[in-house]
């Protein structure tokens, strides 16, 4: 199988103007992924499925990830006047990283026997911009899994053929896999 960097280059050649990023993975598996621009995700997915050298014809897994807002402290070098002399000094600076939700797809080529290729789609935030394009029209195996991500994380998949709750009851008001989810004290585990 080609590396994610090589696949990225193939996508950029086939889908001009697409925004892609290879996301490294520091885990022992060291499995990098491709972060796709949601605006071009279906076009890219169609290319990945139909390209004769890639033929990713099967989406085996779709899951969600909740990334809450976080503040990171970074050490930066600044120029300061110390004792009347301009010098470089190290300073801690806080940087706010907004939260977002992510849909993660694992693709395989059954025809060519390679994979997985991991794709990521990110929402703009965790509150009001939580819509992503559905990849179910490209890979039918995404249908129930995108419904599960919708149900448990709250990502709305635009163009999904049957987007409704799968595990929680219809009038359940929240998304229980979000990291800030707290069940109501009077909430029972049944509809």
- pLDDT attached to residue 1: 86
Q: Taking the domains of the chain in order of start, what are their residue ranges? A: 4-158
For residue 132, whether the previous peptide bond is cis, meaning omega lies within 30 degrees of 0, is: no
**CA–CA separation, 9 and 181 (whole Å):** 39
What global pTM score does this model have?
Answer: 0.87
User: Given a cut of 90, is residue 39 above it in pLDDT?
Assistant: yes
Contact indicator for 134, 157 with CB cutoff of 8 Å: yes
**CA–CA separation, 49 and 54 (whole Å):** 7
In CATH terms, 4-158 corresponds, of 3.40.50.1370, 3.30.460.80, 3.65.10.10, 3.40.50.2000, to 3.30.460.80
Q: Partners of 158 in the beta sheet?
A: 133
What are the backbone angles phi and psi of residue 38, rounded to the nearest 5°? -60, -30
Strand duo 131-133 + 33-36: pairing: unpaired
- pLDDT attached to residue 131: 97
User: Given a cut of 70, is residue 188 above it in pLDDT?
Assistant: no
**CA–CA separation, 99 and 5 (whole Å):** 26
User: Given a cut of 90, is residue 138 above it in pLDDT?
Assistant: yes
User: Given a cut of 90, is residue 112 above it in pLDDT?
Assistant: yes
- 52-78: average pLDDT: 95
Would you state the structure tokens that stand for residue 150, as one six-digit string? Answer: 């919708």
User: Given a cut of 80, is residue 86 above it in pLDDT?
Assistant: yes
What are the backbone angles phi and psi of residue 115, rounded to the nearest 5°? 140, 180
């Amino acid at each position: 199988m080609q590396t994610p960097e090589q696949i990225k280059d193939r996508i950029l050649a086939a889908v001009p103007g697409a925004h892609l990023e290879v996301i490294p993975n520091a885990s022992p598996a060291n499995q990098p992924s491709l972060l796709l621009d949601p605006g071009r995700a279906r076009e890219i997915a169609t290319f990945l499925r139909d390209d004769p050298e890639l033929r990713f014809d099967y989406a085996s897994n779709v899951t969600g990830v909740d990334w809450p807002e976080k503040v990171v402290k970074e050490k930066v070098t600044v120029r300061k006047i110390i004792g009347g002399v301009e010098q470089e000094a190290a300073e801690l600076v806080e940087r706010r990283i907004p939260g977002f939700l992510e849909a993660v797809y694992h693709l395989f080529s059954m025809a060519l026997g390679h994979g997985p290729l991991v794709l990521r789609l990110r929402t703009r935030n965790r509150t009001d911009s939580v819509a992503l394009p559905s990849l179910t029209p490209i890979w039918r195996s995404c249908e129930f899994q995108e419904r599960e991500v919708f149900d448990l994380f709250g990502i709305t998949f635009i163009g999904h053929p049957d987007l409704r709750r799968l595990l929680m009851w219809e009038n359940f008001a929240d998304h229980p896999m979000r990291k800030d989810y707290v069940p109501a004290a009077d909430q029972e585990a049944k509809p």
